[in-house]
Structure 1
Amino acid sequence: MAGRRKEKNSRRLAFALVGLGLILLGCFIRVVDPYPVRMSRLIYFDVLQRLSPREYNPDLPVRVLDIDEESLAEWGQWPWPRTLMAEMVARLGDYGAAAIAFDMLFVEPDRYSPSRLVNDPALSGLLNLGEDAAQLDNDELFGAEIANWPVILGVAARSAQANREIVPKAGIIEIGEMPASGLVAVPHWTPPAPPLGRDAAGIGGVNVSPLGGTGVVRRVPALWGSPDGVLPSLWAEALRVAMGEAIIIAEGAPDEAGIMLAVEIGGFRLPTTENGEVWVRYRRDVPDLYLSANDVMQRSDDPALRAEIEGRIILVGTSAAGLFDMRQTALGQSVPGVSIHAQIIEQVLTEEMLSRSDVTAALELLAFIILGLVVILVMSRFGAVASFLAGGFSAAIVLGISWMAFRNQLVLFDVTFPLLGGMANFGLLAGYLFISTEREKRIIRRIFSHYVAPEILDEMDAHGHQLELGGTTQEITVMFSDIRGFTTLAESTSATDLVTVLNDLFSELGDQILTERGTIDKFIGDAVMAFWNAPLQVEGHPLRAAQAALLMRRALVKFNTSDVMQGRPPIALATGLATGQACVGNIGSRRRFNYTVIGDVVNVAARVEQNCRHVDYDILVSSAVFHAAGQDLAMLEAGFVDLKGKSKPEPVFVLIGDQELAQSPVFSELESAHQNLVAAIRDRQPQVFIEELCSECRDLAEGVEPGLTGFYRKLPGRVADFRTDVPSEHVMFSHARHLKKVSR
C-alpha cells in the first residue's frame, strides 16, 4: 500500500512539474509578446468596443466641415483656389467657430495665383492682366485671412526631407525623465506653403497612424517626435487653440527615460501609452457630425448653420471617395480620417478615455498563472473533466472582470492570453494525462497478448504444434474492432477502473469471436484484432467473421446496460473485415514471439475499420468478404473509399444483419430502394433527387436497422464515393444477388 501511495505521489509530482513548466513557458511568450498574441489582444479590444460603443452627444462642441461629393460638384475639383479657401475660413470665422482645423495639406503654392499664371508659358499670350493683378498671390490672401482667426493647419509625415522646416506653435513642457524621447517619430514633415505656416494659430499632424501604417486605427499619437521637435497631433492642437492654451504638458515616468504616462491640455489629463498614443473610444459614425462645405459657402448668414458652428471646433476634411481619406475603425466601419480626430476630441471632452497600464498587463499575466494553477491542482486530483469545469468557471470570472473593468472604468484588460494560454495548458496536460492512461492500456495489451483461443491450445496439444519461428501463406479473414469514444471514457475513469471496464468488455467481445471459431491475435489498447482460418481450417471463414461482428454488436448493447457501465458514457464499436492471403505463424525473435498474421489483408482490414467514421456505420467489410458471404447476410453497397497505402479506392459494404434479416421483405424493399439510389448517383442525377432517395431509404432503414439512419444522412455528401469507376464483376455480382433474392 505504501509503495502504491509513493508511486501515486510521484506521478502527481511529475504532473505538477510539467504544469509549472508550461506556465513558465506561457509567461515567457507573453513577455516576448509575438504578433499573434498582440493581434488577438487588439481584436478582443475591438470586440469590447463593438459590444459597448460610445454614445454620440450632439451638444459636444465638435463638428466636421465635409468637402463632400456635392461640394466638389458645385465648386469644382480639388484642390480649390486658396481664395475660395479664404472665403470658407471667413465664413466659419464669422459664424463664430472656436477653432478651424484643416485635415488636409497646403504644401505647394496655389496654382491659381495670378502671379503664377502669367509666368506659365502656355498662358502668357492669352492673359491680359494689369500690373497690380499680376502681382496677386492667392497664398498671401489666404494667409492674411487665416491670421484673423484661430486656424490650425495640418502637416503630414513623409520619408523624404523637405526644404523648409516646421516651426511648432505649441509649447511643450516635459515632466519626468525626457518623456518626449520615446514618442512615435516621423522622419520628416510636409510643411505648409509660405506664408501659411507663419500665419496659422496652430500646426498639427494629420496622420492617425505611423508612416506606412495600415489597417484598423486603434491608437492615435497625441504628440509626435520629429527632427523639427515635438509636434501635436491635429486633434490635440485644435483642442489647445480652442481653449486658448499656449502649452501642452507631457507627463513622463520620474525614474525611466522615454516613457510617456499622460498628456495635459488645459484642464484635461489624457492617459497615453508609453510612446504617447491615446486609445480611441469609438462610437458609430453619425451624419449629425458633418456639415456640408457647400452649405457654408452658399449661405452667408444662416441661423441654423450659426447654431451648428458657433463656439465649436470645426475640423475641415473630406468624405469624397476620390480623395482617399477613409480609415477603418475598431467598430468595423470605414470613416473619413477627419472623423477620427473629431471622435478623439469628443472623448477628451466627455472624459471617456480608455486606459491600459503596465499594472493591467501584470494583472493579465497573474490571471494566466492562476488559471494554470487551478488546472494543475484540479486535474492532478480529480481528472480532466473536473479540471475543465473548474477552469471554465475561473475563466468566466476573468472574463467578467474584464468586461466590468471596460464598462465601468474604461480599462482595457485582455483576457485572450489568460484564456487561450489556459486552454493550451489544459490541452497539453490532458494529453499528458491521456498518455499516462495509454501506458495503462499498454499494460493490458501485454497481458492479453499471452492468451489465445482454447481451440488453438487444444489443436497444439493434439498435434504437438512446435512453438518456433516461421509461417505459412494462406487465405484468412481479418477483423479489426476499435472502441469509439475511448478518450472520453479514459478522462472520466481512473486507470484501475478503466482496466476493469476493458477486461469485462474484451471478455464479452472475445467470447463472440471464439464462438465463431476465430483467433484473437491481440488487444491493441482499446482495439481487438482477430483472424479466421488459422491455425485451424474454418469452412466459410468470411461468413463466420461477419457473424462474429454481428454477435459483438449485440453483446455491446447488453454490456452498455451492465452494472460496470452505470454512470459512464456508452461505448460504441467500429469493426472492419477483409479477406485475403497472409502469412500466418510465429513471428518475432527467437526468445520472444507471437502467433500472428502478416500481409496486405491486415492493412486492408485496419483501413476499412478506420473508414467506419467516414461512412458513419459500425460494421464495414471489403469486397472479398461481400463476394464470399454476401448472399447469406444482409449487406448494402457503401461506395469506394481511399485506403492508406492503396493506389486505388476500395469498394466497401455495410454489414446490416444475419440471414434471417437478409430474407425479410423489409430488407428486400430497402435493398431495392438502395439499388435505385446508387444507380441515380452513378447516372449523375440532380442532388435534390438523390437527397429524396436518401430520405426514402432512411425511412425504410428505421424498420430494418436504426443505425443505418446516420449512414443515409451522410450519404448525400459522399456521392463522389459511388461515382468511382466500378469494376464489372462488382456490378454483376450485386445485381445477381438482388435477382436471386427476388426469385425467392
Structure 2
Amino acid sequence: MKRLPQAARCPTFGIAARLCRLVRSKNGRAVGAAAAMLVFLTLLRAYDPWIINELKERTFDTYQRLQPRPYTELPVRIVDIDEASIAAYGQWPWPRTRLAALTRRLGELGAGVVAFDVIFSESDRTTPSQLSADLGNSDLPDRAVTMKLLASLPDHDRLFAEAIEKTPVVLGFAASAAANDKRPPVKAGLAFIGVNPIGVLAPFRGSVSSLPMLSDAAAGIGGINLSARDRSGIIRRVPMLFSDGSRVYPGLAVEALRVAQNQKGIVVRGTGSSGNTDTGRAALIDMRVGDFRMPLTDDGEAWVYFDHDRPERYISVKDVLDPAKTAEVRPRVDGAIVLVGTSAAGLREARPTPLGEQIPGVAIHAQLIEQIISQGFIERPDWANGLEIVLTLALGALVAGLVLLFGAQFSSYAGVVVFAIAVAGSWFGFSHFRLLIDPIYPSLAALTTFVTVEGILYVVSDQEKKFVRQAFGQYLAPELLARLEDSPGAMRLGGESRDVTVMFMDVRGFTPISEALSATELVEFINTLLAPLSDAIQDELGTIDKYIGDSIMAFWNAPVDVADHPARACRAALKMRAVVKALNEADAFGFGARGFADPLVRIGVGINTGFACVGNMGSQKRFNYSAMGDVVNIAARIESTTKNFGTDLLVSEELVQAVNGIALLEAGEILLKGKSKPTKLYAIAGDEKFAATVEFIELTRLHQSLLTSIASRNVKESTAALAACRALGGYELQGLYDYFAGRVVDNTFDFSGDN
C-alpha cells in the first residue's frame, strides 16, 4: 500500500499533529473552503456591484407587484395633453396663448396648484415679435402694414407669464451633467437639521429651465429628473432635492406640495441631528413640507410605492377647456394639486414601473405626491445593508455546519426551510411595515456555500475512492470494490399504474421487401423509414418504447404527464401516414427506380388507451423503461387487424371515448385473440381541422347510413351509400370502403376471426 511522502505527512504527536490532521481531513478542507467562500461573498455584498443591486431591486419590484399601493381618491390630478387634445388644438408645441388660457382656466376651476411637467426653455415661435422678425427679409407687398399690426399684438410669452403670476404655478427644470451657467431661481426656503444637504447631494453642472420671465412669475420651481441610479430603466426612485453646489432645489412633487400649502420653505433632516448619531458618513434621513413628512434615501431620493396607472387621475385638456364640461371638471380640479403633462403618442416618454406598466413621467410625480399625502411609503432603512451582510454570514455558516453534521440531503431540506423563512420574514416586513429587506442574496450565498462544501466533500471523497481502488483493487472483486467505494442501496425495480395511450406500427408486406434486399440495403430501408416515423411520434410528445425489426412500439402520458395524449397519438399517426406518402412520392427507398412490381411502402398503425403498468423493468444490471398490460396487447392486435379492414390507422372504442375533435369513422367489430367479446374499431380520417369541415360532417352522415343499411341487410341502400361514401372520402379511405364493399356482397357486417 502506498504511503505519503515524509514531507507531506503530519507530525505524529502534539497539538500541531491534531491541527494538521484536522486541516487535511475531509471536513477540515470543507470548513476552509466554506470560510473562504463566505468571506468572498460577504465582501462582494459589501461592495454591492450593479448586478447584485439589480437582483435585490428586482425582488423589491416583485413585492410591489404582489402588493401595490392601494388606491384612494386624493386631490391629485393630471391634466393630460392627450390624443383628443392634440386632435382638437393641433400638434405640440401649442402657442403660449393656449397655455395661458389653460392656466387661467385651471385657476378659475379652483386648482390648489398647477405644476407643469414641461420645460418652456425657448420663446414661443408663434409670438408676434418672432413672426415680425421672420417677415423682416420678405418682399410681401403689405409687409410694412403686417409688421405694424404684429407689433401692436401682445407677446405670447408675456401673456403666459401673466397667467402664471395670477395662478399658483410650479414650473419644472432639468438638472444636467453638461456644464452651463443657466440656473433657475430658488423659490423655496431651506432649513436643515444635522448635516447640510449641500454636502450630501451630488451637484449638477448645468440645467435646462424655462424662460426667465416665466420662472420669475412662477410660485415654485422644482426638478423633474428621475433617479440616475435606476440604470435598468425601471423607475423606482425619484430625487427629492437637487443642488448645484451652492443652492438646494426641491423636486417637482415637493415644490407642488409646498405651494399648495402656502409654505415658505422645507425642512431637511440628516445625520448628526437630534436623536441620530453622526456615523461619520454624511447622509440624509427625511424632510418635511408643511404637514407632510417623507423619508429620504441617504442621497436625497425617495422610493416610489406605485399604484396601477388609473384613468381616474387623468383629465383631458380638451375637457378642461370645454365650457360645456365645467360642471363635470370643476369638482375634480377644485382644491387639487394639478400636474400638466402628456400621454399623447410621440410626446410622452414612457417609463417602466415595477408593476410592469409603461406610464408617462408626469404620472410618476403624481403617484409620488399621492403617497406623500397618504403617508404610504416604502423605505429601505439605513440598517438594512448591515442586516443583510450579517444574514449572509449567518445563513452561510448555518448551511455549512448542517452539511458537515447531517449530510447533504438533510441540509438541502433545511436550506429550503431557511430560504422560506428568510423570504417570509422579508415579505412580512414589506407587507406590514413597508420595509425593503433583501432575502435573495443571503439565500443565494447560503446556496453557494452549500455547493462549495458539497463540491469539496465530493472531490475529497473521490480522491479517497481512488486511494481505496489503488490499495485494494488487487484483492477484491470489482463488484465488491464498487460497494466499498459507494455503498449504494439496491436498485429498485417496478412501476406504477398510469393511464396511457399505446401505439403499434408495422410495415405491411415486409417479408417480400426483405427478400428483395440485401442485408445492407435492408438496414438502410429500415433507417430511412423509421427515422421520420420516430420524429412524428416525438413531435407529439410520445415515448418510443422499442423498435422490433420493422415495427415501433410507443406510448403517451409516461414517464411525464401529457394532458391530451389520446389526441396526440392520433395526430402522430396522421403525421406518420403523411411521412410514408411523402417518402413513396419521392421514391426515397428506390423501389420504383429498381422496377419493383409494387414500389409503395405501406404501414399499419393500431392505437389503444387505458391503464398500464409503466416503469423500469428487467434485472438489477440491465433494465428498460416500458409499459405492460392488457392495453398494450390490444393495441398490438389492433395494428395486426388493419390489413383486414383495408385501412392503415385503427383505434379502439376506448380511445374514441377519451378523445375529442379527431375525425373518426366506425370500421366495425372484430373478435381479437384472447377476448370473449368483439372489439369495436374506428378508422382515423383526419385531424381536428378536417373533423370540423362540411365535407367530413356529410361523410359522417353517409357513413352512418352505410352502417345502418348493412346492418339491416339492405343491399340496394348499402350500395348507394357506399358509392356516396367513396365519392366523398379521400384516397386514404378507399381501402376501408373496399372492405365494406365486401361486407355488402357477403350481406353481412360483422367480421369474426382470431387475431
TM-score bucket of the superposed structures, by smaller chain = 0.5 to 0.7
Alpha-carbon distance between aligned partners in 1 of 2:461 and 2:103, rounded to the nearest angstrom: 78
Q: Residue 68 of structure 2 aligns with which residue?
A: 53
Q: Residue 345 of structure 1 aligns with which residue?
A: 369
Q: Residue 77 of structure 2 aligns with which residue?
A: 63
How far residue 304 of structure 1 moved from its aligned partner, in angstroms, is 1.8
Q: Could you tell me which amino acid in structure 2 is paired with residue 21 of structure 1?
A: A
Q: Residue 317 of structure 1 aligns with which residue?
A: 341
Match of 2:33 among 2, 18, 30: 18
Q: Residue 177 of structure 1 aligns with which residue?
A: 195
Q: Residue 308 of structure 1 aligns with which residue?
A: 332
Match of 2:118 among 95, 104, 128: 104
How far residue 640 of structure 1 moved from its aligned partner, in angstroms, is 14
Q: Could you tell me which amino acid in structure 2 is paired with residue 15 of structure 1?
A: A
Q: Could you tell me which amino acid in structure 2 is paired with residue 178 of structure 1?
A: N
How far residue 702 of structure 1 moved from its aligned partner, in angstroms, is 8.0
- Contact persistence 1:202–1:241 (CA under 8 A): yes
Match of 1:197 among 208, 212, 215: 215
Match of 2:357 among 319, 325, 333: 333
The alpha-carbon distance between structure 1 residues 638 and 47, as it changes in their structure 2 partners (threshold 3 A), is farther
- Contact persistence 2:469–2:481 (CA under 8 A): no
Pair 1:42 & 2:66 matched = no
The alpha-carbon distance between structure 1 residues 86 and 678, as it changes in their structure 2 partners (threshold 3 A), is closer
- Contact persistence 1:63–1:314 (CA under 8 A): yes
SS state at 1:251 partner: strand
The alpha-carbon distance between structure 1 residues 672 and 378, as it changes in their structure 2 partners (threshold 3 A), is closer
Match of 1:245 among 259, 263, 269: 263
SS state at 1:348 partner: helix
The alpha-carbon distance between structure 1 residues 290 and 673, as it changes in their structure 2 partners (threshold 3 A), is closer
The alpha-carbon distance between structure 1 residues 55 and 673, as it changes in their structure 2 partners (threshold 3 A), is closer
Q: Could you tell me which amino acid in structure 1 is paired with residue 61 of structure 2?
A: D
Alpha-carbon distance between aligned partners in 1 of 2:578 and 2:338, rounded to the nearest angstrom: 74
SS state at 1:37 partner: helix
Q: Residue 588 of structure 1 aligns with which residue?
A: none
Alpha-carbon distance between aligned partners in 1 of 2:451 and 2:473, rounded to the nearest angstrom: 32
Taking structure 1 as the reference length, what is the TM-score of the superposition? 0.63
Pair 1:401 & 2:416 matched = no
Alpha-carbon distance between aligned partners in 2 of 1:82 and 1:701, rounded to the nearest angstrom: 81
Pair 1:165 & 2:183 matched = yes
Q: Residue 529 of structure 1 aligns with which residue?
A: none
Q: Residue 87 of structure 1 aligns with which residue?
A: 101
How far residue 70 of structure 1 moved from its aligned partner, in angstroms, is 0.7
Deviations 1:525-558 (A, max 9, x none): 77xxxxxxxxxxxxxxxxxxxxxxxxxxxxxxxx
Q: Residue 286 of structure 2 aligns with which residue?
A: 262
The alpha-carbon distance between structure 1 residues 229 and 298, as it changes in their structure 2 partners (threshold 3 A), is same
Q: Could you tell me which amino acid in structure 1 is paired with residue 167 of structure 2?
A: W
Alpha-carbon distance between aligned partners in 2 of 1:361 and 1:685, rounded to the nearest angstrom: 71
The alpha-carbon distance between structure 1 residues 672 and 433, as it changes in their structure 2 partners (threshold 3 A), is closer
Superposition RMSD on alpha carbons, in Å?
4.2
- Contact persistence 1:180–1:260 (CA under 8 A): no
The alpha-carbon distance between structure 1 residues 569 and 166, as it changes in their structure 2 partners (threshold 3 A), is farther
Pair 1:391 & 2:418 matched = no
The alpha-carbon distance between structure 1 residues 326 and 704, as it changes in their structure 2 partners (threshold 3 A), is closer
Deviations 1:648-678 (A, max 9, x none): xxxxxxxx99xxxxxxxx945747999x989
Match of 2:312 among 288, 295, 303: 288
SS state at 1:364 partner: helix
Q: Could you tell me which amino acid in structure 2 is paired with residue 188 of structure 1?
A: G
Q: Could you tell me which amino acid in structure 2 is paired with residue 101 of structure 1?
A: A
How far residue 452 of structure 1 moved from its aligned partner, in angstroms, is 9.2
Alpha-carbon distance between aligned partners in 1 of 2:238 and 2:22, rounded to the nearest angstrom: 56
Deviations 1:678-699 (A, max 9, x none): 996997799xxxxxx9997999
Alpha-carbon distance between aligned partners in 2 of 1:425 and 1:679, rounded to the nearest angstrom: 54
Q: Residue 152 of structure 1 aligns with which residue?
A: 170
Q: Could you tell me which amino acid in structure 2 is paired with residue 51 of structure 1?
A: L
SS state at 2:318 partner: helix
The alpha-carbon distance between structure 1 residues 390 and 277, as it changes in their structure 2 partners (threshold 3 A), is same
Alpha-carbon distance between aligned partners in 2 of 1:65 and 1:277, rounded to the nearest angstrom: 25
Q: Could you tell me which amino acid in structure 2 is paired with residue 107 of structure 1?
A: S
The alpha-carbon distance between structure 1 residues 39 and 163, as it changes in their structure 2 partners (threshold 3 A), is closer
The alpha-carbon distance between structure 1 residues 124 and 165, as it changes in their structure 2 partners (threshold 3 A), is farther
Number of aligned residue pairs: give it. 518
Q: Residue 713 of structure 2 aligns with which residue?
A: none
Alpha-carbon distance between aligned partners in 1 of 2:48 and 2:184, rounded to the nearest angstrom: 36
Q: Residue 426 of structure 1 aligns with which residue?
A: 450
Taking structure 2 as the reference length, what is the TM-score of the superposition? 0.62
Q: Could you tell me which amino acid in structure 1 is paired with residue 47 of structure 2?
A: V
Alpha-carbon distance between aligned partners in 2 of 1:375 and 1:148, rounded to the nearest angstrom: 67
Judge which range, 292-301 or 165-174, deviates more: 292-301
How far residue 423 of structure 1 moved from its aligned partner, in angstroms, is 0.9
Structure 1 regions of 5+ residues with no counterpart?
454-501, 508-522, 527-563, 573-628, 631-635, 642-655, 658-665, 687-692, 712-744
Alpha-carbon distance between aligned partners in 2 of 1:372 and 1:695, rounded to the nearest angstrom: 58
The alpha-carbon distance between structure 1 residues 117 and 44, as it changes in their structure 2 partners (threshold 3 A), is same
The alpha-carbon distance between structure 1 residues 506 and 310, as it changes in their structure 2 partners (threshold 3 A), is same
Deviations 1:29-85 (A, max 9, x none): 11111121111011111111011111211x211010000011011001111111111
- Contact persistence 1:202–1:238 (CA under 8 A): yes
How far residue 181 of structure 1 moved from its aligned partner, in angstroms, is 2.2
- Contact persistence 1:240–1:265 (CA under 8 A): yes
Match of 2:399 among 375, 388, 391: 375
Deviations 1:566-614 (A, max 9, x none): 6x77599xxxxxxxxxxxxxxxxxxxxxxxxxxxxxxxxxxxxxxxxxx
Alpha-carbon distance between aligned partners in 2 of 1:178 and 1:89, rounded to the nearest angstrom: 36
Deviations 1:211-269 (A, max 9, x none): 99661111110001225621111111111111111111121111336411112111222
- Contact persistence 2:64–2:306 (CA under 8 A): yes
Pair 1:279 & 2:306 matched = no
Alpha-carbon distance between aligned partners in 1 of 2:139 and 2:220, rounded to the nearest angstrom: 37
Q: Could you tell me which amino acid in structure 1 is paired with residue 257 of structure 2?
A: L
How far residue 202 of structure 1 moved from its aligned partner, in angstroms, is 0.2
Q: Could you tell me which amino acid in structure 1 is paired with residue 71 of structure 2?
A: Y
Deviations 1:380-400 (A, max 9, x none): 111111111112211111111
Q: Residue 228 of structure 2 aligns with which residue?
A: 210
SS state at 1:358 partner: coil
Deviations 1:408-462 (A, max 9, x none): 1100000111111111111111111111221232133214542598xxxxxxxxx
Alpha-carbon distance between aligned partners in 2 of 1:369 and 1:397, rounded to the nearest angstrom: 16
Q: Residue 444 of structure 1 aligns with which residue?
A: 468
Pair 1:220 & 2:238 matched = yes
SS state at 2:32 partner: helix
The alpha-carbon distance between structure 1 residues 262 and 682, as it changes in their structure 2 partners (threshold 3 A), is farther
How far residue 351 of structure 1 moved from its aligned partner, in angstroms, is 0.8
Q: Could you tell me which amino acid in structure 1 is paired with residue 50 of structure 2?
A: Y
Q: Residue 579 of structure 1 aligns with which residue?
A: none
- Contact persistence 2:116–2:341 (CA under 8 A): yes
Q: Residue 699 of structure 2 aligns with which residue?
A: none
How far residue 174 of structure 1 moved from its aligned partner, in angstroms, is 2.1
How far residue 325 of structure 1 moved from its aligned partner, in angstroms, is 2.1
Deviations 1:163-204 (A, max 9, x none): 543111011222212233222443211121131011000011
Q: Could you tell me which amino acid in structure 2 is paired with residue 31 of structure 1?
A: A
The alpha-carbon distance between structure 1 residues 639 and 188, as it changes in their structure 2 partners (threshold 3 A), is farther
Alpha-carbon distance between aligned partners in 2 of 1:106 and 1:671, rounded to the nearest angstrom: 77
Alpha-carbon distance between aligned partners in 1 of 2:229 and 2:460, rounded to the nearest angstrom: 54
